[in-house]
Amino acid sequence: MTIEDEKSLRDRQAANRSAVDALEEGSSHTAPERKAFFKDVYRRAEGDPGMVPWADLAAKAKLHEWLVRHKGGGTLTAIDIACGLGDNAEALAEAGYVTTAFDLSDHAIRWAQKRFPESPVTYTTADLFDLPEEWRGAFDLVNECYTLQSLSPDMLDETAGAVASLVKPGGRLLVYARWREDGAEASGPPWPLEKSRLHVFAGLGFELEDEDLFTLDRPGRKVPHSFAVWRRAG
């Protein structure tokens, strides 16, 4: 995507933000309400990424940089959590991982399949909190981008546990998230993770291999982000 195309997409997303926010008017942000919200966003978008605030139409740069150095070799398995329109999943497959990607929204899955009709990725509809049993502990690499912060902070432990359950013993987990200083207010959604909670996986049998704290420029503000690589104990 060119710089001009990205700016056009961001401008359209900003212009449509009030319409998207209206889908949550009066919401208490319970898990069922959040699930309904994400389904509604993709359904109402009707193929327009300008109606999906988090759509990039490109893989995350940090993910791409990591994959350049860590190829899948055509045999290692990967799964992309809440894959949306499929860009991160396609990057995993291009790097040589046998890739599965899932999203709660069947509209998002059909959209990704339409965008990448020749893709080797297995796209499927699934719920992170009701995963197929055969997926548990099944993947060499798990990619999690923005899911932890998309649910209220009181669900973080449950969400992290569901994410962690996908990783093989000895496998890796990639976590891309916004963060905030401990105690800083987060009105949400989304709810950037408190800095200390970026290490929630340390209590789930994972060792931190690498962590990159950086900021992304957004209109009128800088948004702290983290890209972390975790290894599950073998």
More confident residue, 122 or 56: 122
Q: Calculate the alpha carbon distances from 59 to 85, 141, 178 in Å.
A: 10, 16, 16
Domain segments of the chain: what residues? 58-232
pLDDT in tens, 154-167: 999 999 999 999 99
Average of per-residue pLDDT across 19-46: 89
Average of per-residue pLDDT across 9-33: 85
Rounded distance between C-alpha atoms, residue 18 and residue 21, angstroms: 5
Is pLDDT above 90 for 210? yes
CATH topology classification for 58-232: Rossmann fold (3.40.50)
Residue 147, number of CB atoms within 10 A of its CB: 18
pTM of the model: 0.94
Q: Calculate the alpha carbon distances from 209 to 68, 162, 166, 169, 179 in Å.
A: 17, 20, 18, 15, 19
Residue from 224, 139, 104, 127 nearest 176 by CA: 224
Average of per-residue pLDDT across 203-231: 93
